[in-house]
């Protein structure tokens, strides 16, 4: 079954009507989800939003666009089509048929992986809930709301797996996904980056570029899973996730473009007085969001991840394109490490170094964005460039968590870090300045002064289209 059934209370392409017990369980969870959305979702009231809604899981015509009240958005459960001939591509079960049910020996590990992924989805909605009040244009407001509803749908996808395959424990975990809240002192979200503030739109663009890009790679490893329903769920989620990263990529594009234009038009680096964001402030925000996102990949070595791989639970990015044996028991990898207190590398088993393998794929991807932003500066005739800081910079997880390092990778004392971190990370003064620019612009075709308009609208619509009808 490919086309979602919209006649059901919960839109789905998993034939939910054939399992009345599961259907009732999910319908009992639905009111709690809607209460969470009301309490923790976007705070800016809108009559309707020009949203895309999934109507298929294949091909180019997989979504429709139209003005929809967000409370009526058709959250649902969509899995990519099943390949009945799919086999496991890696680990000790390589070559066996993909699992349609959870093997008992891997039950707790699979549940944990699904819960961690599921916890990130509502967390980002909570982090972004107040941004509508300072949207720089209706176009940007629409993109924010699109990201929000799709994160909500991704939560539904994970909750379906928990309800469908993990019994009472799965139902309890699904309930907890709505009880934790981003930044809560009593019940915070599981991963640190999802308890950070997203108080302004520069943070939002950096988050959707760097942190949602981490989500791309985590979903990519789960798409390789031997547990076929998880694989098919993540395959479709990746289709929607691409839009979130586009919002971040083009958002930073437009901030850099506006700053570069102001710099050249006024022959100055001091653009703050002209209503633009200085390059050094953009760099500080980049440094923060990039380093926090690096932590999401965990330690450089991990026996848990090695076990996940060998068991077939979680693969590598683009696993089947790799040219090795996909078992890795005889392979090694060089990983970042502290050696006698110095930043260096050491050789470990390829299995225990899988976090490093994934992090390096992510870093290479992030470098593409920085090159893109630097081309904007170059075309504008600006000599300065943005950069990714060293992998040891501002790390709270992994080999470099015990030390302090500069963006260039120089080891620092605690005192040096305290005296200089304001050069590299946003200060209270920087944050106050950025927030001072966050004035809402809700008039069609208008945009705030600190970023350029987009080159293209949504789904062929012009920039001055009425993407959101506000209350």
Residues 173-206: pLDDT tens digits?
999 999 999 999 999 999 999 999 999 999 999 9
Element (H, E) at 171: helix 167-179
Contact 136, 201 (CB under 8 A): yes
pTM comes to 0.97
Query: 243 lies in a domain?
Result: yes
Query: 376 lies in a domain?
Result: no
Q: Residue 201 belongs to what domain range? A: 16-321+428-470
CA distance 256 to 250: 10
Cβ-based neighbour number of residue 413 at 10 Å: 10
Query: 398 lies in a domain?
Result: no
CA distance 9 to 28: 11
* pLDDT cut 70: percent of the chain above it: 100
Query: 370 lies in a domain?
Result: no
Query: 352 lies in a domain?
Result: no
Query: 72 lies in a domain?
Result: yes
Q: Is the pLDDT of residue 58 over 90?
A: no
Query: 404 lies in a domain?
Result: no
On average, the pLDDT of the chain sits at 97
pLDDT tens per residue, range 215-268: 999 999 999 999 999 999 999 999 999 999 999 999 999 999 999 999 999 999
CATH for 132:
1.10.620.20
**DSSP of 268-303, one letter per residue?**
-S--GGGT---HHHHHHHHHHHHHHHHHTT--S--H
CA distance 27 to 451: 43
**Structurally, how many domains does the chain consist of?**
1
State the distance between the two ends of the chain, measured CA to CA, in whole angstroms: 38
Q: Is the pLDDT of residue 3 over 80?
A: no
Distance of alpha carbon 51 from its chain centroid, rounded?
19
Query: 43 lies in a domain?
Result: yes
């Amino acid at each position: 079954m490919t086309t979602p059934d919209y006649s059901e209370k919960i839109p789905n392409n998993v034939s939910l009507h054939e399992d009345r017990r599961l259907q009732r369980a999910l319908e009992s969870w639905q009111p709690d989800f809607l209460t969470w959305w009301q309490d923790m979702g976007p705070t800016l009231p809108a009559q309707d939003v020009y949203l895309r809604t999934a109507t298929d899981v294949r091909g180019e015509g997989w979504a429709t666009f139209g003005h929809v009240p967000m409370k009526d958005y058709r959250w649902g459960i969509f899995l990519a089509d099943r390949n009945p001939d799919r086999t496991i591509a890696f680990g000790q079960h390589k070559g066996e048929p993909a699992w349609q049910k959870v093997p008992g020996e891997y039950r707790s590990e699979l549940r944990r992986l699904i819960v961690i992924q599921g916890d990130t989805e509502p967390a980002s909605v909570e982090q972004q809930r107040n941004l509508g009040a300072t949207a720089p244009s209706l176009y940007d407001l629409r993109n924010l709301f699109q990201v929000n509803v799709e994160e909500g749908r991704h939560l539904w996808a994970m909750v379906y797996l928990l309800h469908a395959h993990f019994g009472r424990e799965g139902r309890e975990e699904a309930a907890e996904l709505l009880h934790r809240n981003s930044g809560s002192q009593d019940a915070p979200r599981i991963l640190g980056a999802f308890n950070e503030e997203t108080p302004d739109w520069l943070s939002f663009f950096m988050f959707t570029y760097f942190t949602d890009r981490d989500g791309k790679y985590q979903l990519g490893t789960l798409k390789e899973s031997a547990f076929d329903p998880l694989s098919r769920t993540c395959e479709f989620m990746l289709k929607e996730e691409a839009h979130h990263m586009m919002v971040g990529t083009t958002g930073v594009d437009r901030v850099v473009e506006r700053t570069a234009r102001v710099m050249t038009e006024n022959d100055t680096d001091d653009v703050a007085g002209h209503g633009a964001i200085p390059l050094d402030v953009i760099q500080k925000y980049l440094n923060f969001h990039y380093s926090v996102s690096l932590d999401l990949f965990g330690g450089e070595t991990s026996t848990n991840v090695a076990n996940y791989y060998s068991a077939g639970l979680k693969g590598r990015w683009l696993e089947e394109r790799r040219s090795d044996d996909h078992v890795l028991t005889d392979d090694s990898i060089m990983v970042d490490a502290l050696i006698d207190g110095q930043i260096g590398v050491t050789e470990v088993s390829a299995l225990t170094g899988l976090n490093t393998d994934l992090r390096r794929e992510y870093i290479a991807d992030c470098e593409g964005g920085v090159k893109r932003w630097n081309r904007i500066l170059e075309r504008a005739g600006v000599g300065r460039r943005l950069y990714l800081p060293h992998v040891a910079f501002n790390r709270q997880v992994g080999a470099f968590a015990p030390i302090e390092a500069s963006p260039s990778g120089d080891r620092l004392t605690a005192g040096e870090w305290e005296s200089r971190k304001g050069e590299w990370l946003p200060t209270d003064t920087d944050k106050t300045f950025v927030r001072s620019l966050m004035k809402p612009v809700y008039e069609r075709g208008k945009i705030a002064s600190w970023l350029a308009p987009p080159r293209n609208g949504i789904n062929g619509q012009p920039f001055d289209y009425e993407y959101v009808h506000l209350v």
